[in-house]
Amino acid sequence: MVSPELRRFRNFEVRAFLMASSDFWQKLSTSLASSAESEVAVAAGHTRATRGTAKMWMVIDAVTVCAAAVVATLYKLHTTPMEGARNFWHGTLIHGRSTGILLALLCGFTFALIVTSRRLHLYTPTHMTNFLHEQRMSAQACLTSGLLLTGALYLAQAEDIPRAIVLGTVLLVTIAVGLRRLIYRILLYRRFDRGLDTRNVLIVGTGPEAQALRHHLEKIRHLGYTFKGFIELPGPKPQQGVASDGIVGNLDTLFQNARKQFIDEIFFTTPGERGIVQDVLDQARVHGVDLRVVPDLYDGLAWSSPIEYIGQFPTIPLHRGAVPELGLIFKRVFDTVFSTLALVALSPLLLAIALAIKLDSPGAVFYSSERIGKKGVVFRCIKFRTMVRDADKHRAELMHMNERDGVLFKVSNDPRITRLGRFLRKYSLDELPQFLNVLRGDMSIVGPRPPLAGEVGKYDLDHLRRLDVTPGITG
């Protein structure tokens, strides 16, 4: 018999496995390039990451997994390393589980970690990624591999393997991998500060964008770049604003200078003819030099803006509107809680009003009309009926009695209002059902009254600011 606790854990494992095998792999391929940290174009898979270095990090990750599993097992089973190794060799470390099954699970977790880390570009050069982004992706790779491991345990029906060992291994791997990447990055930054292991750069172009890029590379030393000079482009107008010692050559001598100064990368900062860029690209491939094209910075408007990916398209955000997200969240929580409590507390009154409307005049209890909400979204506004049946059809006949100027319509002694309706309107009881609109998110407790479509059609351009916020009950 399987205990209830074990059954619940197995149910958690299968949910975790399904989540890891469907949602993660489905979202992973589309989320990588859209990360706000992708300002350095990691999604392209940087070609300068040598295969030997990547394999070294894979081996280190595999060793980390083995070490974490050993530590978690020894701690849980309260045994010594020698005794644990002896029991593992004889297949008695965990009762009922052979050495082959344990090795298969361990190798599967290691393989999942390496593959996931590779898909998340964690084996690319460290200076190509942001530190916080790297730590977040590292934790995601470890936890995702752990979810796949729990799914494998469920499918193998390995109930006798202590869950503390599994969770401890995943936790230790997550901490160890993140700490290892942090230490390596600190050591690498120190070498960059000393001018070691940096990448020599030539910048094609001598305009403002080229100068801004130079200052950026020289200011942020941990990027690992060393500026070696500008390459002047041919043109009818001489480019101004660059010191004479900053220009080291032109396109004809580009790769001669690249060879003399041991250039690793060339940056194109000035839009040029496709044929020129293609010719430089062909030569860069022959000489083994990296080539990058910097997007148009629009005369300095985007100098300090990061590159963000929308799907597969690189974009440069020049401005972000200030949105009080936290305030909007609190407002929505307040609206939901308040309207729920109001509907529960006023339910006897609402029932009594509904019954009175039914007895007072023929027609439906509720009246709903199309109103215009935030950003012009149309919704059905719910109220208690206060007019006779088909009152909307007689509105045109009363336009001469309208007491408001402009687009609003109001008549004090509207003949269409029923006797009970006047009482409900006097004390605003007819608007109590609008708490349902608040629960649905169409309205808020506090906000301007939702207008009719006909009223919005007569708005001036400035009046549309009223639709920038969610309409409310209070007006």
* Tens-place pLDDT, residues 135-179: 899 999 999 999 998 888 788 776 667 778 888 889 999 999 999
Q: Is residue 475 part of a domain?
A: no
Residue 455 near residue 464, CB atoms below 8 Å? no
- With 90 as the cut, is the pLDDT of residue 438 above it? yes
Q: Is residue 221 part of a domain?
A: yes
Is 169 in the same domain as 204? no
Angle at 48 between CA 44 and CA 52, to 5 degrees: 120
The percent of residues above 90 in pLDDT, for the chain, comes to: 24
Give Cα separations from 390 to 104, 364, 386, 450, 459 (angstroms). 74, 11, 11, 21, 27
pTM to 2 decimals? 0.54
Per-residue pLDDT at 113: 92
Same domain, 364 and 273: no
What is the predicted pLDDT for the residue at 174?
93
Query: What is the number of structural domains in the chain?
Result: 3
Whether 354 and 384 have beta carbons less than 8 Å apart is answered as yes
Q: What share of the chain is helix, strand, coil (3-state, %, to 5)?
A: 55, 10, 30
Q: Which two tokens stand for residue 378?
A: 């149309």
Instruction: Examine residue 474 and state whether it is found in any structural domain, yes or no.
Output: no
- Same domain, yes or no: 188 and 213: no
pLDDT at 29: 38
Q: Is the pLDDT of residue 14 over 50?
A: no
pLDDT of residue 53: 75
* Distance separating alpha carbons of residues 442 and 356, to the nearest angstrom: 27
**What is d(CA 246, CA 231) in angstroms, rounded to the nearest whole number?**
9
Last residue of a domain, one of 175, 193, 211: 193
In terms of DSSP bridges, do strands 366-372 and 378-384 run parallel, antiparallel, or are they unpaired? antiparallel
| Among 37-51, 273-287, 382-396, the least confident range | 37-51
Cα gap 29→277, rounded to integer Å: 30
Indicate the pLDDT class of residue 210, thresholds 50, 70 and 90: confident
Same domain, 274 and 156: no
With contact defined as beta carbons under 8 Å apart, do 289 and 263 qualify?
yes
| Residue of 314, 323, 213, 220 lying closest to 269 (CA atoms) | 213
pLDDT at 448 over 90: yes
In the predicted structure, residue 345 carries a pLDDT above the cut 60? yes
Tell me, yes or no, whether 320 lies in a domain: no
Greater confidence (368 vs 213) lies with 368
As to burial, measured by CB atoms within 10 angstroms (0-12 exposed, 13-18 middle, 19+ buried), residue 388 is: middle
218 lies in the same domain as 334: no
Please choose, from the candidates 137, 126, 130, the residue with its C-alpha nearest in 3D space to the C-alpha of residue 178: 137
Mean pLDDT of 446-452: 92
Q: Per mean pLDDT, which range of 14-18, 61-65, 322-326, 335-339 is the poorest? A: 14-18
| Same-domain pairing of 113 and 21 | yes
Stretch 33-50: mean pLDDT? 38
| Structure tokens belonging to residue 163 | 């869950």
Q: Mean pLDDT, the chain, as a whole number? A: 77
